[in-house]
Homo-oligomer: A and B are copies of this chain.
Amino acid sequence: MYRIAVLPGDGIGKEVTKGAVNILQAIGDRFGHTFHFSYGLIGGEAIDREGTPLPEQTLHLCKQSDAVLLGAVGGPKWDNNPPHVRPEKGLLQIRKEMNLFANIRPVTFYESLAASSPLKPHVIEGADFVIVRELTGGLYFGKPSERRIEKGEEAVVDTLFYKRAEIERIITFAFTLAQKRKKKVTSVDKANVLESSRMWREVAEQVAKRFPDVQLEHMLVDNAAMQLVRSPKQFDVIVTENMFGDILSDEASMLTGSLGMLPSASLSVDGPALYEPIHGSAPDIAGQNKANPLATILSAAMMLRLSFGLTEEADIVERAVKQVLDAGYRTADIAKHGDCVLSTTEMVEKVKDAI
């Protein structure tokens, strides 16, 4: 039996996690696995009901599970809340508390979605890389992060802090991943300006020695932001610190024209991992049965593979998604003129039929 904590969150989070749960059940039926789902509150809904974006109970539930499936958090309703009672805080806290240091975002090009990409086909066709983002350090968690008076003037400070061991852990992770792929790691930093980036670069060099079969390349973050648009095919595994990773992975998610399609996994050293679509809570279409459930379904596929070692099952889900797209089925976000537009639940049914 696999125990899965489901945290639907806000906006379209409910609809898309429901779709993914549905697909996991179908996989369970077909292969004779039992998935047990328990539900927890996070984000805005948790604030409304419990007064905090990450209730103790939710955290406890997640820690007791084999894996966590998250929808999305946030919405205009809570945008003016003070920092500690904002939905995003729940996400940041769960990352920290569960020690989810490695955020993995595969960027895959779907031939059938080429029309939705803002990039020209020859630039993007065949692109296939993974961004590995450090998720529990850097500017996100460094102290001090505060207002202060400096020489009589109002000022503000945030802190980019890393332990060497944290840098080593994420870079080692990236190399291990690259070994199973195209054997190339692009380490992204700003070593011409930041001391933390200079340590990052040093550690990358050291770790590289233990992986003689993997090629290491360093790239400045500004150049990386360019290269992602210019020639995304050059990449295999990109590894970078938290804030750079936030920016670059969102940029990258746009390239394939399939933002509503991209899954992510956040892994810890030995505890349960968390899986979520990379898109947000999309309050504008929430509750309308319009959202694209595929990113969450693909996140569930990552769960099958990475948390449960169910490789065949994961492959089947991924193939089913590809098949449905090839057949021309689209939710509104990826539909072009003349396409057959499905609702969230219809899309889930199509994937289920293909399984």
Contacts and interface: CB of A to CB of B under 8 A. Distances in A.
B259 A226 contact: yes
Interface residues of A, number: 59
Interface stretch (A12-20, A190-198, A284-292): A190-198
A126 interface: no
A257 B123 CA distance: 12
A248 interface: yes
Interface stretch (A143-151, A303-311, A323-331): A143-151
Interface in A129-178: 139-140, 142, 145-147, 150, 153-165
Interface in A237-254: 243-244, 246-251, 253-254
A139 B160 contact: yes
Given A193-B88, A195-B158, A250-B222, A255 B229 contact: yes
A230 interface: yes
Interface of A: 74, 83, 86, 88, 92, 117-120, 123, 139-140, 142, 145-147, 150, 153-165, 190, 192-196, 198-199, 221-223, 225-226, 228-231, 243-244, 246-251, 253-255, 259
Stoichiometry (number of copies): 2
A4 to B, nearest CB: 27
A278 to B, nearest CB: 10
Contacts of A118: 119-120, 123, 229-231
Contact of A157 (B142, B156, B231): B142
A247 B222 contact: yes
